[in-house]
Amino acid sequence: MESLRINGDNEAFKRLEPAERPAVRRKRSSPKMPAFMTSAPGKVIVYGEHAVVYGKAAMAAAISLRSYLLVTALSKLQRTITLRFPDINMEHSWEIDDLPWSTFAHPSKKKNYFDLVDKLDPKLVEAMQPHLTVVSPKASPADKKIHQSAASAFLYLFLSLGSKNFPGCIYTLRSTIPIGAGLGSSASISVCLSSAMLLQLRTLSGPHPDQPLVEAELQIERINRWAFVGEMCIHGNPSGVDNTVATRGKAVVFKRGDYSSPPTVTPIQTFPELPLLLVNTHKSRSTATEVAKVAALKKLHPAIIQPILEAIDKVTESAHELVLSSAFNARDDWSVRKLGDLMSINHGLLTALGVSHPKLDRIRELIDSRELGWTKLTGAGGGGCAITLLNSSASPSALLSLQGKLATEGFEKYETTLGGEGVGVLLPAVLHDGFEGEGGEEIDQESFLNANGIEGVEKLVGVGVDAAEKGEGWKFWSKIQGKQETIDV
C-alpha cells in the first residue's frame, strides 16, 4: 500500500473505505473557560488610626462597596490581553507574544502559584517598563500615573502566574468604591486580579458548602499572597492590611511593632454585618502629612499625646473584646450602642491629635443633630471619609433629610454594610433563575461596560437579590470560614 499523507491530497487515501482509514490523531485542546467574575470589598479603619503608627492595634473591616472583574476568553487566533477600567477611562491591549516572557520565565526568576513573594524583582519591573509607558499616553500626568499603576499590577501578576500559551482575554474592571479616598480600592482590584488568574490556572478549589476549613483557608491565603504582590506594584511598601481585608472579608485587628517586619493580623470571622453610612468629603488628604502632624505634636507634648495614643489602643482592644464576647448581639441595641460609643470616643481622641477637619466635623454635626448614629473619621483624617454606625431607630425621613443636606454642601453619601464577605466568584458569569440553575441572566462585556454607575453595576451583578430568588450565584470562601472556628494568621 502506498504511504498515506493524512493531511495531503493523496488519492490512495481517498479510495479507502471509511472503516479502513487510519484514525486521525488530533492534539487534545483545553476547553475555553467560560466567562466568569471575581469580586472583592473595600475597607474602612473602624478603630485605631494613628495609634497604629506607634505599635498599637487598629481594626479594619470590609464594606459592601466592591470591585468586580469580568474575564472573557478570546478565540485562539486572538493573541491579545486587554485591561479595561471604564470608571477611570482606562483601556489598553498588549500582544501576548510581545511581552517579556523570557525574563519572567527564566529559571532564576520564575515563580510558582504557591510561592510567597514578599518583594518585587527589580529586573522584572524593569522588563515591564516598555509595556507600561505606552499606557494612556494622552492622559493627564495624574491620570496616567493611576492608569500605569493599575497596568503594572495587572502585568506583573499576568507574567508571573501565566505563560506565553495563556489564552487571549479581556479583563474588565468596574468598582463601586470611591478611588483615592482611603477605602482600599487598589487592594480590592488586586484581589480581583489575583483570584481571576489563579482560577484561570485552575489552582483554586471551591468555594463550596462542604469545603473543609483548612482547604478554604489555603485558597484565601494563596489569593492574598498574590494580591499583596499587586499592592506592591501600586504602592511600593504596603502594610498588607488592605489586601487581607479584601480577601478575607469581615474584619481584622492588626498591629505592627517593628516596621522591618509585616504586621500581626488577626482575623475576626465572627464580625457581624452592621448598617453603615459612609460620607466622602471630597477633600483630598495626605496620609504622610497627617502622620507627620501627630509626630510633631508628640514631640512637643509627649506627656499628653502618649496617653491619647494609649487610650486609642484601649478603644480598639475594647471593641475587639466586645465583638468576640458571648453577650454581643448585632440585633441588640445595647451591643450596637457600645460599639457606637467607642467610635465616638475614638473620633474625639483623633480630634485631640489634630487630624480631623472642619468638613469631617460638619458631617458629624449633621448626623448627630438627627440622632442617626455614631460618627468618626476613618483613615488618616484631614479630609477623606467619615463613617457612621447607624442606630436601629434611625428614621427614613431623617435619612432623607440628611441626604439632601449633604448633597447641598458638596458631600457624597453611600449606604453600605460593615463586615461583609471577602473575595467572591461567579463562575460562569450567569445569575441563574430558580433553584435548578437552568437559564438565567448572562453578564457579558457589553452589559458590564454599559452598566450605569454604582446602582447599575450592583443591579447587574445581583447585589441585594436574595440567593433563593436567583438560585446559584456568587460564592465566598469567607462564608465557609464563618461557619467554623476562626484561625489566626
Q: Among residues 87, 97, 118, 242, which one is catalytic?
A: 242
pLDDT digits (tens, 9 = 90+) for 82-128: 999 999 999 999 999 999 999 999 888 888 888 888 889 999 999 99
Known catalytic residue at 143: no
Residue found by looking up cell 490512495 in the block: 12
The per-residue pLDDT for 259 is 66
C-alpha cell at 66: 466592591
> Helix, strand or coil for residue 25?
coil
Give how far Cα 126 sits from Cα of 103, 111, 131, 136, 322, Å.
Answer: 10, 17, 10, 19, 48
The H or E element that residue 469 is part of is helix 467-470
Phi, psi of 255 (to 5 degrees): -150, 135
What stretches in the chain show pLDDT beneath 50? 1-29, 437, 467-471, 484-489
Q: Are 151 and 132 in contact (CB under 8 A)?
A: yes
The per-residue pLDDT for 384 is 92
What pTM does this model have? 0.86
pLDDT digits (tens, 9 = 90+) for 180-236: 888 999 999 999 999 999 999 999 988 888 889 899 999 999 999 999 999 999 988
